[in-house]
Amino acid sequence: MIAVMLIAAIISSFSVNRFAPKPMQILIPSNFPKPTYNLQSNPVTEEGFALGRKLFYDGILSRDGTISCGSCHQQASAFIHGGHDLSHGVDDQLGRRNALPIFNALFKKTFFWDGGVPSLDFVPVNPIENPVEMDEKLDHVIKKLNASAAYKILFKKAFDVDEITSKELLHALAQFMGAMISSNSKYDKYVRKEGIELNTDELAGLNLFKQKCSECHATDLFTDGSYRNNGITNDFNSDKGREEITLNPSDRGKFKVPSLRNVEYTSPYMHDGGFETLEEVLEHYNSGIKESITLDPLLKQNKSPGIPLTKNEQQQIIAFLKTLTDTAFLHDQRFSEQH
């Protein structure tokens, strides 16, 4: 009898351990601020990360199975829709704004160009239910996942659940996206004193950047997370930006300040994808600002709106911006689609 009980205990212990998810260490770079995402509420595990990666690249999240998160967030382009000013959704419908890159999401307080989503956990709901993106309903996605024997096994391993709910779906995707940390560019190695030096133009560009750009593109995340009107247009009839969320007219035409990490690979630029090159972006700030009531005060400090930049200064800033390219991140197989 004792032997039978002992065998049963061993089998029970094996069963529990077999499905116990393995913690996955997330290393926070020494030159980064503390994460804003609460990792204790959704600890990243190897099983949860793997599940999130599979979901990220699976068209099951869309109405007709043709669009995945990875369709509009491609690794080779730092997880933007490379070469597209506006992304294509189901039935080849066009979205309204340029796709923002995905990396360093653990450090963000709000998401999307207008900040309409306050937590990484809820980011996927937006594209899933957007009629010109995935055009699906979250509850129907859950039904499809519960009908999949393969996914039932994966969710069981990651979260020890027999019935999949939206909580597990969103937590899995958050684990995958949260683990996408880009922090190993030439600049990072320079600032962390890891044996890398910047050349003359890159150093000159860094100094110019600190003088002219760093108030908005702040910290080593290269964004202060704020919303600003940077003079792209003064016609906000089709897109009021942050005002659509806050309903405050003082937010009209304001959009999130994007990170400049990997900016060499995230063309086209701005919320409307209006600029193809970094040269066009810097010339916009030099001479192309369109005035409006909510134009950012930082662009009103000179006789003419904008930030005066000579051609040589622009090229030096671009030389510095290219030191923010994290080649290891762009080719990290952990974040690639698994076949």
pLDDT tens, residue by residue, 234-276: 999 999 999 999 999 999 999 999 999 999 999 999 999 999 9
pLDDT tens, residue by residue, 76-130: 999 999 889 998 899 999 999 999 999 999 999 999 999 999 999 999 999 999 9
Q: Which CATH architecture has domain 2-181?
A: Orthogonal Bundle (1.10)
pLDDT tens, residue by residue, 180-224: 999 999 999 999 999 999 999 999 999 999 999 999 999 999 999
Which residue spans of the chain are classified as CATH 1.10.760.10? 2-181, 186-327
Residues whose CB falls within 8 Å of the CB of residue 129, separated by 6 or more in sequence, listed in order: 135, 136, 137, 138
CATH ID of 186-327, from 1.10.760.10, 3.40.47.10, 3.90.550.10, 3.40.190.90:
1.10.760.10
Structure tokens at 260: 């400049």
Dihedral (CA of 128, 132, 135, 137) sign: positive
pLDDT tens, residue by residue, 4-62: 333 344 334 434 446 689 999 999 999 999 999 999 999 999 999 999 999 999 999 99
Q: How many Å apart are CA 4 and CA 7, to the nearest integer? A: 5
Confidence at residue 3, expressed as pLDDT on a 0 to 100 scale: 38
Structure tokens at 166: 């939206």
Structure tokens at 297: 């005060």
Q: In degrees rounded to 5, what are phi and psi of residue 229?
A: -95, 110
Report yes or no: 86 and 98 within 8 Å, Cβ to Cβ: yes
